[in-house]
Structure 1
Amino acid sequence: MLLMFRFMFGGAIDVGATTYINYLVPGILVIAVTMISVSTTLAVQSDMQEGVVDRFRAIAMLDSAVLTGHIVAAVIRGMIALVVMVGLGLLVGFRPSASVIEWLLAAAMLLLFAFSLAWVSAVLGLVAKSVDGASGLGLILMFSPYASTAFVPAETLPDGLRAFVEHQPVTLVVDTVRQLLLGRPVGDTGWQAVLWWVAILCVAAPLATRIYRKRFAK
């Protein structure tokens, strides 16, 4: 996707004062995290179907350890994907202007996003009735960045769509990471993104744990 938009569509999209590849890469980083979230949804539902949880319950371990393992694995996969995508972006012309502090802040924002989204994915995996159902629910997350500023500026969109894109939480992550990597002021976008995804985490993590314990209550 990075290569396709970089070499096929990038020349037709005006993003103002920067190059399209500089505009594109932060959006691709967010997309990479959301695509990985689908695998978490499927993995959780697969555990529910295959009976592996029943075997784990025979071991002296915390009830939440199964979910925690999936969350940690998702975050690790996400971080690996982000490193790979940044490297590929640099190879095809991405030239960030961020300081060390701005890189660290961008990484922290993506880590919060990956962690929160992993818990949302776990909830979807737990409420799905089958692996196919989990796959369908996971697509909701996977396509959420496409209705954001990942590929084009919000001001180029029709009014109704623009209003949605500008205020949905994935756009806030994309814009925050983009501004940080390009060495620009983040403004209110940064704290709004953190507030949104901390709130989502505070809802999703307890909800996933509750559903899991209720489903496998002794």
Structure 2
Amino acid sequence: MATLSYAARDSRTMLRRNLKKALRYPSLTVTVVAMPVVMLLLFNYVFGSALGTGISGLPTGSGEYIDYLAPGIILMAATSGALTAAISVCADKTEGIVNRFRTMPISRASFLTGHVVGTVIQTMLSITLVIGIALLMGFRPTATPVEWIAAIGLLALLTLALTWLSAGIGLVAKNVETASNIPMPMTLLPFVGSAIVPTESMPTGLRWFAEYQPFTPIIETLRGLWLGTEIGSSAVIALAWCVALALVGYVWARRTFKAGAQR
């Protein structure tokens, strides 16, 4: 019990450190929010008329492309936000802070826990801002309070999973530039899914990839929760992907951090 208490205390200290650091250097957080907002504006106002015309049965029946687009771009806010963990972890490693922490009488788990929890908090705030902007642009969910809670919970679980993966990337990257580039496919992968257009409109090979990659069932689940479209088996598949990614990321990051301490 005492060990768990010390670990929780040290993790809270690391969390405060990372949140204060984010407040002092907000440029990364602003960039993370700006990317999905720019994509939302670009695809809705520039390409929306052309893309929306080709999509039959838009979610709410309003005929507005923003209703189809918003869930995928909101998910993009989660993928973009999680990447900041790779950058912040790698920065601490290359600046020598990690080695200093290892010489101090603190819980070994607290360093990664502080980074991961701090990134999840920042990312969820970013997601809230993107949802607010989507609503201002005309996004009109029909979800009940329970469905809203389920959608936010799914986004939080996805953010946690991707943040653990990003923390592992930050530990193995040699510099901050590499740490920022390696996870970039995670940000772009939703576009090769159902975020912008239905997978049915894609060529056969690309359609197969789009339907079986992790983000498509998550997007379809969010779309179903918010807008009442058919979810089917997407919810189970989405949860399975999130849990699997979280476990892989957690185990990999913890083992990588432990291996670094033994060198």
TM range (shorter): over 0.9
2:147 matched to 1:88?
A: no
Task: State the distance in 2 between where 1:170 and 1:185 align.
Answer: 16
Task: State the distance in 1 between where 2:191 and 2:40 align.
Answer: 13
Flag the structure with more relative contact order, 1 or 2, with Cα contacts below 8 A and sequence separation at least 6.
1
- Runs (4+) of structure 1 exceeding 6 A deviation are none
Q: For residue 6 of structure 1, what is the aligned residue in structure 2?
A: 44
Q: For residue 109 of structure 2, what is the aligned residue in structure 1?
A: 64
Q: Which runs of 5+ in 1 are unaligned?
A: none
2:149 matched to 1:104?
A: yes
Count of aligned residue pairs for this structure pair: 218
Task: State the distance in 2 between where 1:141 and 1:63 align.
Answer: 28
Q: For residue 21 of structure 1, what is the aligned residue in structure 2?
A: 66
Letter of the 2:114 counterpart: G
Query: Alignment partner of 1:207: what SS?
Result: helix
Task: Give the aligned CA root-mean-square deviation in angstroms.
Answer: 1.3
Task: State the distance in 1 between where 2:56 and 2:143 align.
Answer: 18
Letter of the 2:182 counterpart: L
Deviations 1:130-186 (CA, angstroms, capped at 9, x unpaired): 222212202122222121111111011111000000110111111111111002342
Percent identity between the two aligned chains: 39
Which of 154, 173, 177 aligns to 2:199? It is 154
Q: What TM-score comes out, normalization by structure 1 length?
A: 0.96
Moved more, 184-193 or 158-167: 184-193
8 Å CA contact 2:89, 2:171 repeated in 1? yes
Query: Alignment partner of 1:63: what SS?
Result: coil
- In the TM superposition, 1:141-180 aligns within 5 A as 141-180=186-225
In the TM superposition, residue 42 of structure 1 has moved relative to its aligned partner by 1.0
Query: Alignment partner of 1:205: what SS?
Result: helix
Task: State the distance in 1 between where 2:55 and 2:101 align.
Answer: 51
8 Å CA contact 1:31, 1:142 repeated in 2? yes
Q: What TM-score comes out, normalization by structure 2 length?
A: 0.80
Task: State the distance in 1 between where 2:243 and 2:157 align.
Answer: 8
Query: Alignment partner of 1:122: what SS?
Result: helix
8 Å CA contact 1:37, 1:138 repeated in 2? no
Q: Which runs of 5+ in 2 are unaligned?
A: 1-38, 59-63
8 Å CA contact 2:82, 2:120 repeated in 1? no
Deviations 1:89-144 (CA, angstroms, capped at 9, x unpaired): 11111001111111111111101100000011111111212222212202122222
Task: State the distance in 2 between where 1:40 and 1:190 align.
Answer: 26
Deviations 1:177-218 (CA, angstroms, capped at 9, x unpaired): 111100234210001110111011112101110100110227
